[in-house]
Structure 1
Amino acid sequence: MRRNVREKKLYETYRLAYRRDMTSPAHIAMFSIAAHGHVNPSLEVIRELVARGHRVTYAIPPLFAEKVAETGAEPKLWNSTLPGPDADPEAWGTTLLDNVEPFLNDAVQALPQLIEAYEGDEPDLVLHDITSYPARVLGHRWNVPVVSLSPNLVAWEGYEKEVGEPMWEEPLKTERGRSYYARFHAWLEENGITEHPDPFVGRPARSLVLIPKALQPNADRVDETTYTFVGACQGDRSAEGEWQRPDGAEKVVLVSLGSSFTKQPAFYRECVKAFGELPGWHVVLQVGRHVDAAELGDVPDNVEVRSWVPQLAILKQADLFVTHAGAGGSQEGMATATPMIAVPQAVDQFGNADMLQGLGVARHLPIEEATAEALRAAALALVDDPEVAGRLRKLQDRMAQEGGTRRAADLIEAELAAARA
């Protein structure tokens, strides 16, 4: 497996420090928000660090305390003002400022809680999800290494010019947009940070990327002295439940729009029409908490309607995955070599859908075009195509070589060793 120069140096420092002091576990503090797509990718890394003897605390709102505790980490609880994972998607608003302002507001009110929670219990290293702005402030306050765990794409050289500036051009013409940046600047300066909010959020000093490199746009322009792609960190999911392919099912299709943007009854009805009438097909339809099965009308016996499913267990047996193309779902589809129809709903999902289609393992269908006819045509073109199957197997092999959980833990320990050297 190839390693960049920085990584080789870190490993050498780690080996030397580890030989000198094998019995000195660290206190590692992880910070995230109460969202499945931001907590789940980190859990196996946390579990591995605990297994290696480190004390790991995990700052998280109470809703996820039990899930965090199952890894062996100690939950450090704080109260969030963000919409919860079961909130109506409309709670997030529709504009860029609607989406970003809640994170700043939450960070400002969370920081005093976190300072109090860690008073006299400061860690040796900070890990954080990309949404946890207080974590970087606390790392600066404590003067300890800070490592981002990114559950989705990262910035490449030229990202600001190509994406950031065009995206912010109109909002910055408004009083609301200018006020947002002024408040962000003031909050950072109050905490001794002179960095501009954009690089503070989007340019960490060190980041482990928890997605396959194949899902990263412009991967050849990503600075791999800062960002290391360790790929999917998937562990034992048996606690989520099992699923058995029905006898006689010639094809199995899983339809899931993830955990947040699931309020799409019209789309689910199109899926029932698309696949429910195909002979020999079995459909697992996850509709989330905001749709009642009664809204789907008459559902054939070969359609299994659930509010939640053990996704990975089903994908290991499925022939097709209709997905919103979130980072987690996209890489689970790749890891199980399952062809995909990508129907993105929000944020990075549109880019992921394009990436999957570009890799030749999926079809990108905008939701307004996802009719029963279009879904069925895409499905029949994908499931028996040997070239699609071959590309999926190659991607599966490449993902396995990225190292996953163990490599992520090795790199975190290397950062610790470098700080102690």
Structure 2
Amino acid sequence: MSHVLFINVFGHGHINPTISVVSELVDRGEKVTYIAGEEFKDKVESAGARFIGYKNFDELGFNNGDISPAEIQPQLMEITRVYVEIIEVIFSIKDKFDYVIYDSLFFVGAEIARILKIPSISSNSTFAVNDKTNYLSTFFTRFGPVIKELLNNPDFQGTIHFLREKYGVNVPNILDMHKMKSDLNLVYTSRYFQINSEGFDDTYKFIGPSISDRQEILEPELISKEKSKIIYISLGTIFNKSVEFYESCFEAFIGMDAKIIMSVGMNIDIDSFKDIPDNFIIRNYVPQLEILKHADLFITHGGMNSTNEGLYYSVPLIVVPHFFDQPVVAYRVAELGAGIVIEKAKVSPALLKASVTKIFSDNAYKENSEKVGKSLRESGGYKKGVDYIINLKDSKEAAGELIYS
């Protein structure tokens, strides 16, 4: 048995794809220590891992997608604080690890592996990035001057010096994140859906989404077919406070021959909605994967997890991207003909209704979503990902580079 250190950052979209990977590693006899935000303790421990928590980024201002350059610097300083906390936790652990798996946005992960003298594996919850497919470029173009100011800030430079002197960590330049890679790079999508997939070497393994049976109970009324179509609407776990958007959906789809299932998240009081149309079912939470098995259309914010899950079940999408990687994901969906993009600022009841009508009247959207879905289902998922991890471990062991704890 070998011991893996798993390091993750940010929210559900980064954590969820890894949980099945962790369960499979444990099932195959690996010991897993998993570092993540405190709110994920139950989820990680239920997968069989030892959990070590830290205070996550809950208070960051990314929640609305409208954060300005003036607001970004304190957010980045908070990220820096948390990253330092994670690094200090890692080097306080007495166990010896045999390899490390880290979220690709924890950009010191490969450096940690170098210091520990163990193989490194990156976990990519969105598209893989390089010079030609750098979805981070828009973010860095917008916030580049502020980021450079931060990098030259005496407090930040002091942190860099502290990490180098105490732990030997050479912090990479955040602006070069798209150039970083590891011994193995797991990407939770298919080569077909990946942008410019031919630009990535064989260390990149496109394993598709980590779809597993969550054993969630589905209310029969959610999928009963008293209407000709089922439309599922969800803005994910972060961008789900858009009351105006939900009310636009009421106006757009009232009287339509479709059942509308709307998941609004835990931060909205459903009783605050007035005049909910009869063809709407609104919940704070629904079992998304179970709904998608029956849905005819998915209206989403374009987070990679939600997008992959919808397309995995060959559901056409209407994507309303908010921030970060979501616009890139959205336009890839449109490029492959599997859905329509509506810019957040242009959302209106008329445009929503016209987009739904267009998808339901043109079978090409369904055919193209089926093509993407087939590529995702055939990529192997979490079991294939663990195969690659074990193969890397075995090859390092054979080369005498891996000595078990």
Category of TM-score, reference length = shorter chain:
0.7 to 0.9
Q: Which amino acid aligns with 1:219?
A: S
Superposed counterparts of 1:22-421, under 5 Å: 25-33=1-9, 35-75=11-51, 77-83=52-58, 89=63, 93-95=67-69, 96-97=72-73, 99-116=75-92, 118-119=93-94, 121-133=95-107, 135-158=109-132, 163=137, 166-167=141-142, 169-171=144-146, 175-179=149-153, 182=157, 185-186=160-161, 189-190=164-165, 191-194=167-170, 196-198=172-174, 201-202=177-178, 203-205=180-182, 206-221=184-199, 223-239=200-216, 241-244=217-220, 245-278=223-256, 280-421=257-398
Q: Deviations over 1:50-88 (max 9, x none)?
A: 11111122122332111112212222x232252169x99
Q: Which amino acid aligns with 1:127?
A: I
Q: Aligned partners of 1:138, 1:108: CA distance in 2, in Å?
A: 12
Q: Aligned partners of 1:79, 1:237: CA distance in 2, in Å?
A: 26
Identity %: 24
CA displacement at 1:369 relative to structure 2:
1.3
1:160/1:48 CA distance change after superposition, 3 Å: closer
CA displacement at 1:147 relative to structure 2:
0.4
Q: Aligned partners of 2:15, 2:147: CA distance in 1, in Å?
A: 31
Kept in 1: contact 2:322–2:344 (CA 8 A): yes
Q: Deviations over 1:102-126 (max 9, x none)?
A: 322211123222322x21x121111
| Comparing 206-215 and 90-99, the one that deviates more | 90-99
**What is the SS of the residue equivalent to 2:54?**
coil
CA displacement at 1:396 relative to structure 2:
1.7
| Comparing 367-376 and 136-145, the one that deviates more | 136-145
Kept in 2: contact 1:92–1:99 (CA 8 A): no
CA displacement at 1:34 relative to structure 2:
5.4
5+ residue gaps, structure 2: 399-405
1:172/1:388 CA distance change after superposition, 3 Å: closer
Q: Aligned partners of 1:333, 1:303: CA distance in 2, in Å?
A: 20
| Comparing 261-270 and 402-411, the one that deviates more | 402-411
Q: Aligned partners of 2:18, 2:299: CA distance in 1, in Å?
A: 24
CA displacement at 1:290 relative to structure 2:
3.0
Q: Aligned partners of 1:409, 1:47: CA distance in 2, in Å?
A: 10
Aligned residue in 2 for 1:11? none
CA displacement at 1:358 relative to structure 2:
0.7
Kept in 1: contact 2:337–2:365 (CA 8 A): yes
**What is the SS of the residue equivalent to 2:314?**
coil
Q: Aligned partners of 1:387, 1:394: CA distance in 2, in Å?
A: 10
1:194/1:64 CA distance change after superposition, 3 Å: closer
CA displacement at 1:137 relative to structure 2:
4.4
Note the aligned Cα RMSD (angstroms): 2.7
Q: Aligned partners of 2:64, 2:368: CA distance in 1, in Å?
A: 37
CA displacement at 1:217 relative to structure 2:
2.5
Kept in 2: contact 1:212–1:331 (CA 8 A): no
1:271/1:69 CA distance change after superposition, 3 Å: same
CA displacement at 1:195 relative to structure 2:
5.9
CA displacement at 1:287 relative to structure 2:
1.4
1:40/1:253 CA distance change after superposition, 3 Å: same
Give the TM-score, by structure 1 length: 0.84
**What is the SS of the residue equivalent to 1:291?**
coil
**What is the SS of the residue equivalent to 1:414?**
helix
Q: Aligned partners of 2:330, 2:161: CA distance in 1, in Å?
A: 37
Q: Aligned partners of 1:64, 1:309: CA distance in 2, in Å?
A: 19
5+ residue gaps, structure 1: 1-24
Give the TM-score, by structure 2 length: 0.87
Kept in 2: contact 1:184–1:197 (CA 8 A): no
Q: Aligned partners of 2:192, 2:76: CA distance in 1, in Å?
A: 27
Q: Deviations over 1:150-201 (max 9, x none)?
A: 100122234579927645543356x435328745643553332446323774
Kept in 2: contact 1:255–1:284 (CA 8 A): yes
Kept in 2: contact 1:32–1:132 (CA 8 A): yes
